[in-house]
Structure 1
């Protein structure tokens, strides 16, 4: 079975999507529709903006979503048998599988980005990547810290991202280094994503998700919160709402997809991050990437 996966925030790069815009009339029309939905010329930022311009959350999330989804639109015989997306990428997966329309997906991504940005401004918080420790050790240390610190992204064996208050993350990094972490690296992010700090954003996004029509997808969507295949539209909605404050269970997602018959993984969208993580879960798994228009 062919599995398709979609990247999250951090995969963006200057000039992304420009080749698609220039070579496909269908993509050009959808990009122009995106400018209308978002209320600003995201095409200008994606095609001509700097790396710093693309780092703004209100730009980054729609830009990655657009790049991923529009690539699926121009694939010949695109027929996914299972899909998943990392954090933001889950919205791309839902559109690719037919659970959401392009317009509704983009609108939700834009609202999500703005809600997350606002949540980041309420109270300073951050994230850190912990390399070279068992997941359980990292989780135990997070629980022992007398401040808000949680496991946020289970990326692959030996790589877990934690999320929390500034003081809590500093303390956790110190303890985890003592416990033998190869690296405990604070990340250049705007706030503590996938943690209780995102509760204001979750509440805001919940209303928008509840008001949006979701359809039954053409294939199972493996969602971040439980790493399980879901096809029921109501269940998809509830998992998507929970996603903002819950951890991204990517390691478990990849393992479950392989157990359920995935024979290869194709990452659609900017970068190669997910291909690397999948190889760390299963070295023998075939991975491919599509991040530009095929000649």
Structure 2
């Protein structure tokens, strides 16, 4: 069984997708169409920003998110043309929207409009805040929760820190107000965390500070018709498929303001029988997380045309 997993924010790079754009007509059309769709929400020439940068602009949330999803849609369509479709799919944070496209739950126009608005709303929710995210290496979940709770208690709830991403065993990202993250980091070092690495981000992602963005997305979802999934989507905020009584819109609303359980999502797919996983997105960060999380799974990463062609050759497409 095949799983397809989509990268999240932080892996973007100037030049991403340029080789696909030059070689494949369908990819070129996807990127050019994306500009027409997302520019109505945020002023952005997707091809120009992806291929020419500058990096500091491409790294701004409101631009990163549409760029990453446009890249993912383009590669997904090329895989479809080669006869490759997922049995299970998921994504890291914004990558979940690409997973919903792969599953046929959202069409190309809808997913690009939504992700452009998501990036805009998350940017707005972060404005005026002194915030930080940091990757904690070598601490278990219970220790991270305890240290975040201690920091929040010390600050009497005036500043907050939360566990934001469970990437793989031994790597958990904390997020929130800068002061709270610093205090939690100090407690984590005392508790034996091996390293704490600040991340280059512009917002307190996947914390309750993102509630304004969640509220705005909830309004957008009222106008969206989610279609039945053709492949099974494993959702970030629960680390599993949705239950019958759960709605995609509520899970996406929750996702933007609560923890991302990537480690749990990968384990869920493998326990369901997935033995081959393709990562789509710049860089190979998720492939590393997968290899640290599960054994005996064949992992491919598609960042370039060469990666793509080698993958479809090996999979016999």
1:60 aligns with 2:72: no
| Structure-1 separation of matches of 2:198 and 2:26 | 41
Q: Tell me, which stretches of 5 or more residues in structure 1 are unaligned?
A: none
The aligned counterpart of 1:41 is 45
After TM superposition, the structure 1 stretch with the greater mean CA deviation from structure 2, 231-240 or 121-130, is 231-240
1:70 is the counterpart of 2:82: no
Spell out, residue by residue over 1:156-198, the C-alpha distance to the aligned partner (whole angstroms, 9 max, x if none). Answer: 1111001111111111111100111111222221121000110
Cα 1:68–1:149 shift into 2, 3 Å: same
1:284 Cα deviation (Å)? 3.1
Distance 1:20 1:159 in 2: 32
Say if 1:267 and 1:275, in contact at 8 Å, map to a contact too.
yes
Give the TM-score of the pair, scaled to structure 1: 0.96
**What displacement does 1:210 show?**
2.2
Which of 179, 184, 190 does residue 167 from structure 1 map onto?
Answer: 179
Matched residue, 2:292 = 280
The residue number in structure 2 matching 1:137 is 143
* Pairing of 1:1-295 with structure 2 (within 5 A): 1-39=1-39, 40-75=44-79, 76-145=82-151, 146=153, 147=155, 148-230=160-242, 235-293=247-305, 294-295=308-309
In structure 1, the residue corresponding to 2:22 is in which secondary structure? helix
Cα distance in 2 between the residues matched to 1:66 and 1:234: 28
Number of equivalent positions: 295
- Checking the alignment, whether the CA contact within 8 Å between 2:276 and 2:298 is kept in structure 1 is yes
Check the 8 A contact 1:128/1:161 in 2, yes or no.
yes
Secondary structure of the equivalent of 1:16?
coil
Tell me the CA shift for residue 234 of structure 1: 6.3
Report which stretch shifted further, 95-104 or 47-56.
47-56
> Quick check: 2:26–2:74 contact (8 Å CA) kept in 1?
no
Give the whole-Å Cα distance in 1 for the aligned partners of 2:295 and 2:84. 26
Report how far residue 232 of structure 1 moved: 6.0
Distance in structure 1 (CA, Å) of the matches to 2:33 and 2:224: 18
Distance 1:208 1:91, change over 3 A: same
Distance 2:57 2:257 in 1: 26
TM-aligned CA deviation for residue 233 of structure 1: 10
Aligned-pair CA distance for 1:285: 2.2
- Cα distance in 2 for partners of 1:96, 1:141 equals 38
Secondary structure class of the residue paired with 1:216? coil
1:27 offset after TM fit, Å? 2.0
Runs (4 or more) in structure 1 with deviation over 4 Å come to 231-234
What is the alpha-carbon root mean square deviation over aligned residues? 1.5
Give CA-to-partner distance per residue, 1:199-241, whole Å, 9 cap, x none: 1111111111221111011011000011112386962221011
For 1:215 and 1:242, the matched residues in 2 are separated by 19
Tell me if the contact between 1:127 and 1:161 (Cα under 8 Å) persists in the aligned partners: yes
